[in-house]
Structure 1
Amino acid sequence: MDQEKLHVAIIASPGVGHLLPVLLLANRLVIYHNITTTILAVTTQTSYLESQTLTKSSHIKIIKIPLPDTSNLLGEADSVFTRLTVIMREARHGIRSAISTMNPCPHVLIADLFACESLPIGNEFHMQKYVYVPCNAWFVALTTYLHVLDKEVEGEYVDWVKPLRIPGCRPVRREDLPDAMWDRSNRQYDEYVKMGVDFTTLSDGILTNTWKDMDPRCLDAFKCDETLRSFVKVPVYDIGPLTREVGVINLKGNKVIEWLNMQPLKSVLFVSFGSGGTLSFKQISELAWGLEMSQQRFVWVVRPPPRVGNASDGAFFSARNGSDITLDFLPEGFLTRTKELGLVIPMWAPQVDILNHGSIGGFLTHCGLNSVNESIKSGVPMIAWPLYAEQTMNATLLTEDLKVAIRPSVLPTKEVVDREEIEKMVRRLMKGEEKKAMMDNVKLLKESVKEALEVNGSSYNSMCDFINCCQMKMKSSKK
C-alpha cells in the first residue's frame, strides 16, 4: 500500500554560517532518510549562490525569501544578533506567502534558531513545528533556562562571581557567557531571553547539531534531570555533527591545495576566523608577528579589520570576494619575510579540503560550531580563539572537557593577544609536548563522530526518533 511521503520545510536565516547548517540538515534528511525537503532561505544573493554549490541533492528545493527592509527598525549600533532577529521577524510575511503556495503543503516546519517566531505559521497550515539550533547542547541548556536566570540574578552577569547554575549541566562562568548576556541593557539581551522561551513554547522539539560524546552531561540532563525537564518539556534530538564533505568544490589548480601538497606531513597551521569573524588592526598585526616569530608553516585566511570600531563579527553580512582586497593592513614586509613559510589568502579558502589535507597539523579557529565540527571530523587539534556568540562556550568544551585545544590566557574580544603568546601557542600546538595528547584525543573524538552518524549510531538513531515521531503525527492527523 502506498504511503504518503513526509515533506519537511526548513527556514534559514541570512549568512553563510546559518545557511550552511540548514543545507547540511536538508542533505542528511534527503540522502540518508529519503525525506522530501524544501529550504526557505531568507538570504543574500551571495549566500544563495553558495547554497547552490553545497546542495548535493536535486531533491532539495530552495526557495529564496526576499530580505525585508529593516532600515527603520535597526540602528548602526545594533548587534548582528539583534539584526538577525529583526530581519527574521520581518520576513514572516514572505515565509507565510511561500508556504501558502506550496502544493502539497509540507507536513513539518523546522525553523533555525533566529526564525522561531515563524513557527506559529505552522499552526495555520496544520504543520508540526521544530526548532533547529546548530550549537552545542550546553548553549541550548543555557538559552532555554535563561528566563529563569533573568529573574534570579540581580545586576550584570559579568559581575557575578559564582558560575551560573543550569540544572544537570556544567555551570557557566562569566568568561564563558555568550556576548548577548554581557550587557542586560542591550537590546540583544531581551531578544535572547525571548528566543530561549520560544525554543520550548513554540516548538514540538529541538534539533541540535551535536552528538553524544561532545557534551554527554547536558544531553543526559535533557532526558533525565527533572528540574531541567520541567522547563524544557519538548524532546531534544542530537543529530550531528553534520558537516561539509571533502571534494564538494572543484579544486583543480587551487593554489592553496597545490602549496599544501609540497609541505611535510602535519606541519602546517591553518588560521581562519569563519565567515563573519574580524580582528582589529592591532590584533592582526600581533597575529602576523606571532606567526612569523613561531617559524611554523601556516595558511592564513585574512580579512581587513572593521572600518569602524573593533567588531569581532564585522564580516558577517559581507560578500565573500577577495579579488579586490589589498593586504596593506599587514605589517610592512610581512609577506616578503614569510613567503617561504606561509600562505596568506584574502577572504576565503576551501576550509574542509584544507583541514582534511595531510599537511595540516593544527587549526587556529574562532570556535564557530561549523568550524569546530569540521576540525574534529578531520582529526585536527585547535587553538581556540573565540570571537562572538556562543564561541566562548565552545572554546571551554574544547580545552577543558575534550582536551583537543589550547587557548589564549585572555579573551580575544576583551584584550589584544600579544605576539609572544601567539608564538608560544603555535609552537605548543605544532611542536610541543601537548601535541601528541591532543592528537590522540581528537583522533578518538573523530572516531566517535563516525560511530554516531553510522546506522544505529547515537545521532543516526536520534534522527530516526525525530522522523518516526513526525511520521506518527502525520498519520494521526489523517485519521
Structure 2
Amino acid sequence: MVVMVPFPAQGHLNQLLHFSRLIAAYDIPVHYVGSSIHNRQAKLRLHGWDPLSISNLHFHDFPLPPFLTPPPDPNASIKFPAHLQPAFDASLQLRKPISSLLHSLSLITHRLVIIYDPLMAFAAQDVASLPNGEAYAFHSVSAFAIVFYLWESLGRPIEIPIQLSDLSLEGCFTAEFEAFLRRQYDLMSFNKGDLYNTCHAIEGSFMDLLGQDKRHWAIGPLNPVTLGSSCGRHKCLEWLDMQLTGSVLYVSFGTMTSMSDDQIAELAIGLERSGQRFIWVLREADRGDIFAKENDMEVSKAQAQAQLPEGYEERIQGVGLGVIVRDWAPQLEILAHPSTGGFLSHCGWNSCMESLSMGVPIAAWPMHSDQPRNTMLVTQVLRVGLVVREWAQRHKLVAHTTIESAVKRLMASEEGIVIRNRAKELGVAVCQSLANGGTSRAELDSFISHISR
C-alpha cells in the first residue's frame, strides 16, 4: 500500500498525482492525501486521464485552519511567490491527520510505503514510528538542480563539466521560504531512497553523479506521453487544428509567476512583431486557495485585458496571429498537438518534462526556484532550447526587441531548425524510455519490486 504526500503547489500536486496513476497500474492501492482545497485543485486541473476511473486510487481530504490568500505582487524584486507562504505554512498542520491515517493503514497492510515531497517532510515524519513503514522522497525538481544544490553546499568539491559557476541561488527564493526548506530537509533522516521525475535520456550523467550511497530511481516522465481524445476540447485546440505543423509558439509562465504590467506590454509587442503564431496563457498567478477567487473571475479577466496594449487582442485575432487564454489551459494537449513548434516557458521542471517528452523545444525565461538550473540544463547541456533572459539580468525589463529576436531564433531560423530537430530526437528517446525495455520502465519496475519484496 502506498501513501502520496504532495506539497500544495500546482507543479508538485500534478507530478505526484501522475505518479499515483503509474503505481496503481501495478495493482497497488494508492492513497493521495492533502487538504480538501489542494486535492480538489489537483483533480480539477489534471489532463490526460481521469482520476475517478482508477478504482484503487483513493483521495483523503483533510481540512486546514484558515490561512491568508493574498494576491501575488507582480512588482516584487524576487519573483518567488511569497504570497503563497501562508498556504505552505498551513500545510504543516496536516501532520496530525496524516499520522493518524498512516497508523490506521499500517494495521491492514504488510508494508506501508510513503512517497512524500521533501517540502512535506514535517507532515510525513511519523512514518518513522511505524514498524512496517518506509518513506521515499519524490523530488519534483531536476536531478541537475539537486546536483547543483549539493555541489554548492559542499563547497564545490569536484569539477563539473559545464559552467555552473555562472549560476547562484541568489534571487531564487525568499528568505522565509529558504528557512522553511531547510527545516524540512533537516527532518529527512527517515528517508529510505529518492525518486525523480526524469529519465536517463535527459539526465543520465547527473543521476550517476548522485552516487550509490542510497537508492535512486529515475522513473519519468510521469505525465502521459500518449493522450486519448477528451470530451469538451478547449477552444484553443480548435484554433491549433487550423495551423500548420510546428508553426505555433506556446507561451506560459506556470502557475506561480507574476509579471509587471510593463513587462506584459513588452512581451505582447515582442510576440506580435515576431510574426509567429502563438497561444499565450495570460492569467494571474495562483493564490494559496485558488477557489477563494471563483467569484472574481470576470474582474481578473478585465485586469488581464487592461494590461495589454490598447486594441491588442482584437488586432492579433483579426489577422489570425494568436490566441490569448485567460482560464486554465490544457498544457499537455497543447504541447502534444502537431501544430505546436516551441514553448516560451519559465522552465519549471513540470513544464520542462512535459515539453521534452513531447519533443517541443524551449525558449527559457527563468523566474525563480530551480528554474535557472533547468534553463542551463535545457540550453547548455541538452541544447534543446535557447535563453530569452539571462538570470544575471533578472532585475531588468526584457525589451520587446529581445523577445522578438528570441522567438524568431527558435521558430524561424536555421539555428531554430537545429534546436527543434534535436528536441524531436530527444522526445523520441524519452518516449522509448517508457516502453518495455526502456530505462524508465525498468527503474519503475525496480522500485515496485523493491517496495513489494
Q: Which TM-score band (shorter chain)?
A: 0.7 to 0.9
**Deviation, structure 1 residue 407:** 1.1
Please list, as runs of the form range in 1=range in 2, the aligned pairs for 1:175-324 lying within 5 A after superposition.
175=167, 177=169, 179-180=171-172, 186-199=175-188, 201-223=189-211, 233-244=213-224, 247=227, 250-252=230-232, 254-304=234-284, 317-319=289-291, 324=298
SS at structure 2 position matched to 1:237: strand
Asked whether the equivalents of residues 276 and 316 of structure 1 are also in contact (C-alpha less than 8 Å), the reply is no
- Per the alignment, residue 98 of structure 1 pairs with 101
Q: Which has the higher contact order (CA 8 A, sep 6+)?
A: 2
Aligned counterparts of 1:188 and 1:290: Cα–Cα separation in 2: 33
SS at structure 2 position matched to 1:332: coil
Paired residue type of 1:141 = V
- Per the alignment, residue 115 of structure 1 pairs with 120
SS at structure 2 position matched to 1:119: helix
Please list, as runs of the form range in 1=range in 2, the aligned pairs for 1:255-404 lying within 5 A after superposition.
255-304=235-284, 317-319=289-291, 324=298, 325-326=301-302, 327-339=305-317, 340=319, 341-404=321-384
Asked whether the equivalents of residues 16 and 50 of structure 1 are also in contact (C-alpha less than 8 Å), the reply is no
Asked whether the equivalents of residues 453 and 460 of structure 1 are also in contact (C-alpha less than 8 Å), the reply is yes
The change in CA–CA distance for 1:193 and 1:143 in structure 2 (over 3 A counts) is: farther
Aligned counterparts of 2:159 and 2:376: Cα–Cα separation in 1: 18
CA RMSD across the alignment = 2.9
The change in CA–CA distance for 1:369 and 1:219 in structure 2 (over 3 A counts) is: same
Aligned counterparts of 2:36 and 2:373: Cα–Cα separation in 1: 27
The change in CA–CA distance for 1:257 and 1:299 in structure 2 (over 3 A counts) is: same
SS at structure 1 position matched to 2:167: helix
- Give the gaps of 5 or more residues in structure 2: none
Asked whether the equivalents of residues 143 and 196 of structure 1 are also in contact (C-alpha less than 8 Å), the reply is no
Aligned counterparts of 1:291 and 1:315: Cα–Cα separation in 2: 27
**Deviation, structure 1 residue 245:** 5.1
- Per the alignment, residue 61 of structure 1 pairs with 58
**Deviation, structure 1 residue 287:** 0.3
Paired residue type of 2:33 = L
The number of equivalent residue pairs is 428
The change in CA–CA distance for 1:401 and 1:280 in structure 2 (over 3 A counts) is: same
- Per-residue CA deviation, residues 268-322 of structure 1 (Å, 9 max, x unaligned), is 1111112222211111000000011111111111024xxxxxxxx6656535969
- What TM-score do the two structures reach when normalised by structure 1? 0.81
Paired residue type of 1:90 = Q
**Deviation, structure 1 residue 222:** 1.9
SS at structure 2 position matched to 1:205: strand
- What TM-score do the two structures reach when normalised by structure 2? 0.85
- Give the gaps of 5 or more residues in structure 1: 1-6, 150-163, 225-232, 305-312, 473-479
- Per the alignment, residue 41 of structure 1 pairs with 34
**Deviation, structure 1 residue 247:** 4.4
Aligned counterparts of 2:289 and 2:165: Cα–Cα separation in 1: 30
- Per-residue CA deviation, residues 31-77 of structure 1 (Å, 9 max, x unaligned), is 2x332211112352541542677425222111112224456xxxx99
SS at structure 2 position matched to 1:456: coil
- Per the alignment, residue 310 of structure 1 pairs with none
Aligned counterparts of 1:271 and 1:258: Cα–Cα separation in 2: 17
Aligned counterparts of 1:51 and 1:433: Cα–Cα separation in 2: 37
Paired residue type of 2:290 = S
- Per the alignment, residue 160 of structure 1 pairs with none
- Per the alignment, residue 452 of structure 1 pairs with 433
Q: Percent identity?
A: 27
Aligned counterparts of 1:172 and 1:198: Cα–Cα separation in 2: 28
